[in-house]
Amino acid sequence: MKYVIGIDIGTTAIKATVFDLNGQECGSRKEKYTLITSSTGIVELDPESYLEKFSSVVKSAIKSSGVNINNIISLRISDQGEALLCLDQDGNPLRRAIVWMDTRSVEEAAFIEKKFGRDNIHKITGKVGMDAIWPAPKMLWLLRNEPHIYKKTAKFVLIKDYLIYLLTGRFVCEDALLCSTMWGDINTREYWTEMLDLLEVTENHFPEIVRKEEVVGIIKRDAVKRFRLPKKLRVSTGVFGVGNVNLGIFSESIGSAFKSVTTVDKLMLDPAMESPRCSFSCGGCSRNLEVSRGSRHKPCKRRKDLSTKPKELRSLRPNV
């Protein structure tokens, strides 16, 4: 029997779960980390904290599953979204990660929205406006307030990108997250050049864009030893969810943020500019999501499937 392991890098905790290829859970482990916060809207975390917890939950999840580690053939990662890291030319962090909840860049967000226009931002990124939680205004804040760090930064990455880099040696970014960075174009699914110009960077400062569920590569030898993972492990960008991958499916989730999502077959912007849009890929096809995002205290409804019920984790087999 072969197995896969899924990693969820959440806002306040990280979770690892081992599944068989039929989607049955075999073992799981969750551990929390303490965010560094202040009254000025700062929310950060030492990158090493992510790595320590990642190593710990992987080891515990595999142990609790009782499976032979050499039978785990694939690892997939999802994350909290837009936690930003600045890396030097050797791939080492230059400062603590700025968590998506960080709101220090309110003035920068307002500046960007005024420069590009709210309507234009919605058309290009799918988001309903510029907000301090997105990485682009955080980068502008760094440019203005920590120029010494900014100038030394060779790569601006999300926490998921950083972990994949440590595992495989490749800098990649999943295109499903690109639009919520505010430096991506939802129409072309490439980088938004005008935004990069404003931030005084080029595409070389960012990872290669890949599609969700793409196999990035085989785990490196040093990563096998560091994280106690099996040799020849395949590392992919996608992970497992509620099965919202086909038209007609509606789902809601709750965590540090509340989201209700439905899948559509083409990009349809909200005329009222209240509901953001995201892009994703699965099974060789492209889809767009209509997302409503709000308070984590709103009621969480059960997943509603208006077409056919997907099989458990049916996307496991194609890429393992």
For 247-290, write each residue's pLDDT tens digit: 777 777 676 566 677 777 777 677 776 666 666 554 444 444 44
User: Residue 231 carries which DSSP code?
Assistant: T
16-30, 98-112, 234-248: segment of lowest average pLDDT = 234-248
pLDDT at 174: 85
pLDDT, tens only, 177-221: 787 899 999 888 899 999 999 999 999 999 999 887 789 999 999
pTM here is: 0.83
pLDDT at 180: 82
Residue 317 pLDDT greater than 50, yes or no: no
Please choose, from the candidates 169, 173, 129, the residue with its C-alpha nearest in 3D space to the C-alpha of residue 273. 129
The residue ranking higher by pLDDT, 244 or 225, is 225
The residue ranking higher by pLDDT, 244 or 43, is 43
pLDDT at 54: 97
At 297, is the pLDDT very low, low, confident or very high (cuts 50, 70, 90)? very low
Residue 60 pLDDT greater than 90, yes or no: yes
Residue 56 pLDDT greater than 90, yes or no: yes
pLDDT at 308: 35
Residue 149 pLDDT greater than 90, yes or no: yes
pLDDT at 179: 73
Q: In sequence order, what are the residues at sequence separation of 6 or more whose Cβ sits closer than 8 angstroms to the Cβ of residue 16? A: 5, 6, 7, 8, 28, 29, 30, 54, 57, 58, 60, 61, 62
Tokens of 285: 């096809």
Share of the chain above pLDDT 70, in %: 78
pLDDT at 257: 61
195-203: long-range contacts, CB 8 A cutoff, minimum separation 24: 195/112, 195/116, 195/136, 198/112, 198/115, 198/140, 199/136, 199/139, 199/140, 199/143, 200/143, 201/139, 201/156
CB 125 within 8 A of CB 82: no
Q: How much is the mean pLDDT over the chain? A: 83
